[in-house]
Amino acid sequence: MRTVIFDLDGTLADTSGDLLAAANACFRGLGHGDVLTAETDAGTAVRGARAMLNAGFTRLGLSYDDSDVDTQFPILLEAYGQDICTHTTLYPGAREAIARLRDAGYKVGICTNKPEGLAEQLMAALDFRDAFDSLVGADTLPVRKPDPAPFIEAVRRAGGDPARAVLVGDTQTDRDTSANAGAPSILVTFGPGSFDVAALKPEALMDHFDDLDDIVGRLMA
């Protein structure tokens, strides 16, 4: 069965606003106020909690180490879980594109480095979870992307064949995951930040979800 697996943050949805708010909750708790902004840090947000914490500590000019990040990590996740979908929006055309793939007989799933519970919570809040046949998060398996195992597991749980699957993502991590799995990748050009995704040399680039059907069809031919 042909399968399309999607990254979540920066690919299906712009989650940067709620992620940054959770990170800023940590810095407020440390007495520093809001440190990160959407204008400067949206790209960092979709790289994960630790990336945001490192960016904030660096911007403050504080002396810190991994233990400081480790201490704040669960605090950030708790803040995020309490307010996970205030600013988050699906990218234009995402919902319709997934429906078209399903109507065309594809299996679809999610492979994200967001913790599985938070990913499930967010997709439910977006009223979008039922559109996907599988969801594998950062802690579903002992390894996470760019290890190929989570992608392969997402395909398997969707009822697909890893030899006939493609990964849609937005970062180096997604590109490396697809390469490690021996699968083609589609990288979106509209994610937060200023990543030069073309330089990663994916099998295809996607400017809008309206283009997804044709791109997948070509890669799966």
Q: One-letter amino acid identity for 177? A: T
Three-state DSSP state, 132:
coil
Residue 69 has which token pair?
A: 């990040």
214: annotated active-site residue: no
How far apart are alpha carbons 155 and 167 in whole angstroms? 10
From 7, 18, 133, 170, the catalytic residue: 7
Three-state DSSP state, 72:
helix
The residues, ordered by sequence, that sit 6+ positions from 145 with a Cβ below 8 Å of its Cβ are 111, 113, 151, 173, 174, 176, 177
- Strands (E) across the chain are located at 3-6, 13-14, 89-90, 107-111, 134-136, 165-169, 185-188, 204-206
* CB contact at 8 A, 164 and 2: yes
Query: Annotated active-site positions, please?
Result: 7
